[in-house]
Structure 1
Amino acid sequence: MPERLTTGDASLADDVKHLADAILAGAEFFVTRDSNLIAACETWIEAEFGTEVLRPVDLIQRLMPPAPPFRFRSEQLEAVGLQWEKVASLSSRLEEAFVERTSSEKGKAFRRRLQAILAKPSEFGLQVLVDERSRLWALLATEQRGATLLVPILRVGSGSLGETIAFQLVRHLRWRALEQGADSISITDQALSPALRSALHADGFTGQVPRVKLSWLASPDAAARAITATEVSEYERINWPQVLIARDIPVHIVPIQPKYARELIGYNDTLFNTREKRALGFARQVVYFAAPKGVQEVPSRVLWYVSWDPKGHKASAVRAVVAHSRVVEATTLPVETAIEQYRAIGTLRTREIEAHSKNGKVAVWRVEDTQLLERPIDRATLDRILRKHDVTTSKITARRATPGVFDDIMRMQPRWAER
Structure 2
Amino acid sequence: MRVDLSLLMLAGARGHAWALSDSAGGPLAGLALTRAGNEVTVHLARVSQGPLQDVLARYIVQYLGAATAIDEHTLVRVIDPHLPPAVHDSLASAGFEQAAGIYVAPRLRGLLSATDAAHALCELSGNALDGSKVLRRVDQISRDGASPTEFLALEAACAPLTLAEPSIPVWSVPIRPQYAWELLGVGESLFTRKDSLGISVEHVYYTGATALPPAGSRVLWYVSGENTPAYVAQSVVAASGRVPWKEAFRSNRRLGIYTRDEVRKAASPSGKVGYITFGRTRPLPRAVALDRANVMASDLGTKMMLRSPWQLPAALATELMEVAFELKQ
Q: Same fold (TM over 0.5)?
A: yes
- Aligned match of 2:160: 241
How far 1:322 moved relative to its partner? 1.1
Q: Give TM-score scaled by structure 2 length.
A: 0.81
Q: Does 1:144 align with 2:144?
A: no
- Aligned match of 1:304: 221
Measured in 1, the distance between the counterparts of 2:205 and 2:151 equals: 22
How far 1:345 moved relative to its partner? 0.8
Q: CA RMSD in A?
A: 2.9
Which has more strand, going by share of residues?
2
How far 1:172 moved relative to its partner? 0.7
How far 1:392 moved relative to its partner? 2.5
Measured in 2, the distance between the counterparts of 1:215 and 1:198 equals: 21
1:292, 1:361 within 8 Å by CA — same for their partners in 2?
A: no
Measured in 1, the distance between the counterparts of 2:310 and 2:254 equals: 26
Measured in 2, the distance between the counterparts of 1:124 and 1:376 equals: 29
The change in CA–CA distance for 1:126 and 1:370 in structure 2 (over 3 A counts) is closer
- Aligned match of 1:402: 313
How far 1:179 moved relative to its partner? 2.6
CA deviations 1:302-352 (Å, max 9, x no partner) are 1111111xxxxxxx5331111121112111222122112111111211111
Measured in 1, the distance between the counterparts of 2:312 and 2:325 equals: 23
Q: Does 1:413 align with 2:324?
A: yes
CA deviations 1:247-287 (Å, max 9, x no partner) are 22322211221111111211115xx47548x9997842111
Aligned 1:83-162 pairs, distance under 5 A: 98-99=1-2, 113-115=4-6, 118=9, 125-162=16-53
2:209, 2:308 within 8 Å by CA — same for their partners in 1?
A: no
Q: Does 1:290 align with 2:207?
A: yes
1:227, 1:247 within 8 Å by CA — same for their partners in 2?
A: no
1:329, 1:365 within 8 Å by CA — same for their partners in 2?
A: yes
Measured in 2, the distance between the counterparts of 1:340 and 1:279 equals: 17
Q: Does 1:353 align with 2:263?
A: yes
- Aligned match of 1:363: 274
The change in CA–CA distance for 1:388 and 1:200 in structure 2 (over 3 A counts) is same
Measured in 1, the distance between the counterparts of 2:142 and 2:44 equals: 36
- Aligned match of 2:291: 380
SS state at 1:353 partner: helix
How far 1:169 moved relative to its partner? 0.5
One-letter amino acid matched to 1:403: A
SS state at 2:52 partner: helix
The change in CA–CA distance for 1:115 and 1:297 in structure 2 (over 3 A counts) is closer
CA deviations 1:350-387 (Å, max 9, x no partner) are 11111111211111111111121222111211101222
Measured in 1, the distance between the counterparts of 2:295 and 2:320 equals: 11
The change in CA–CA distance for 1:320 and 1:116 in structure 2 (over 3 A counts) is closer
- Aligned match of 1:54: none
The counterpart of 1:391, out of the listed 293, 296, 302, is 302
- Aligned match of 2:251: 341
How far 1:131 moved relative to its partner? 3.1
The change in CA–CA distance for 1:183 and 1:121 in structure 2 (over 3 A counts) is closer
Q: Does 1:215 align with 2:134?
A: no
Larger Rg: 1
Aligned 1:201-280 pairs, distance under 5 A: 201-208=92-99, 209-217=102-110, 218=112, 219-221=116-118, 222=138, 224=142, 227-269=146-188, 272=189, 275=192
How far 1:120 moved relative to its partner? 8.6
Measured in 1, the distance between the counterparts of 2:81 and 2:66 equals: 22
Measured in 2, the distance between the counterparts of 1:292 and 1:130 equals: 40
The change in CA–CA distance for 1:187 and 1:391 in structure 2 (over 3 A counts) is same
The change in CA–CA distance for 1:131 and 1:330 in structure 2 (over 3 A counts) is same
- Aligned match of 1:166: 57
Measured in 1, the distance between the counterparts of 2:301 and 2:191 equals: 38
One-letter amino acid matched to 1:248: S
One-letter amino acid matched to 2:234: H
The change in CA–CA distance for 1:241 and 1:122 in structure 2 (over 3 A counts) is closer
- Aligned match of 2:239: 329
Measured in 2, the distance between the counterparts of 1:384 and 1:152 equals: 49
1:174, 1:214 within 8 Å by CA — same for their partners in 2?
A: yes
Identity %, equivalent residues:
23
What is the total number of aligned residue pairs between the two structures? 300
Measured in 2, the distance between the counterparts of 1:220 and 1:253 equals: 25
The change in CA–CA distance for 1:395 and 1:203 in structure 2 (over 3 A counts) is same
- Aligned match of 2:127: none
- Aligned match of 1:31: none
Measured in 2, the distance between the counterparts of 1:361 and 1:172 equals: 36
- Aligned match of 1:197: 88
The change in CA–CA distance for 1:256 and 1:280 in structure 2 (over 3 A counts) is closer
